[in-house]
Every structure is written in C-alpha cells, then in structure tokens.
Amino acid sequence: MSGIVCEQTFLFDARGVAKRFRHAAIFGALEALREGETMRFVNDHDPLPLLQQIGQRYRDQVRVQYVDHDAAHVVIDFSVHPAEQQRSEGGCGSNGGGCGCSGS
C-alpha cells in the first residue's frame, strides 16, 4: 500500500551467525526491511568494513545510528528511508536491487 510507513524495530544479533555468512545475512535482512522499519544490529565488534559497504550500496537510503558502543559489543540501528530521487522513480537500492521498501 502506498503511503503507509511502518515503524518497527527488528533485532539482528550477528554474534550468533557464522562469520563467513554474516555480511550476506545482514544484506538479506536489510533487503527485507520496509520503509520506516529498523534493524537493531548487535555485534561483538565495530563493523567498519560492513558500514562502508552499506553506504556504497544504499547511500542515504539506509541510515546508521549507533545505540551502544563499548569493548564488549556494538549496537547499531539501521533504518530504511528511500531517497528523494528513488521515491520519484519508484524502487530503491542500487543496480536494480532494493531494500524491499514500499516506496511506490
């Protein structure tokens, strides 16, 4: 439905995912989010390379906000907000991909 924005937060605890599958699982989870939804990401370290990949792939569509950050764990909220250009063109993501948001 057009115009409906969901405001829900879903937990993604990366500490329970095998390291070689983490990035694929995280991107899959981001792709499943709809506009206005948030994935609360928990990890045992600051995922700087992942954040760089997310920035390159989704630009300003996925917003990153640190909730907690210490030596033992990191908590980051990833929220989906389609970019203005993507709203007018329909769809989102890069190279024909998408986040699953309901931007159209």
Q: What is the pLDDT of residues 68-88, one digit of tens each?
A: 999 889 999 999 987 654 444
Note the pLDDT of residue 5: 52
Among all chains, which residue has been given the structure tokens 């989010």? 33
Domain spans in the chain, listed from the N-terminal domain onward: 22-89
Average pLDDT, the chain: 81
Contacts for 33 with CB less than 8 Å, ≥ 6 apart: 10, 39, 78, 80, 99, 100, 101
What proportion of the chain, given as a percentage, has pLDDT over 70? 73
Note the pLDDT of residue 88: 41
User: Which contiguous run of DSSP H or E holds residue 40?
Assistant: strand 38-43
Note the pLDDT of residue 104: 37
Asked if residue 81 lies in contact with residue 60, where contact means CB atoms within 8 angstroms, the answer is: yes
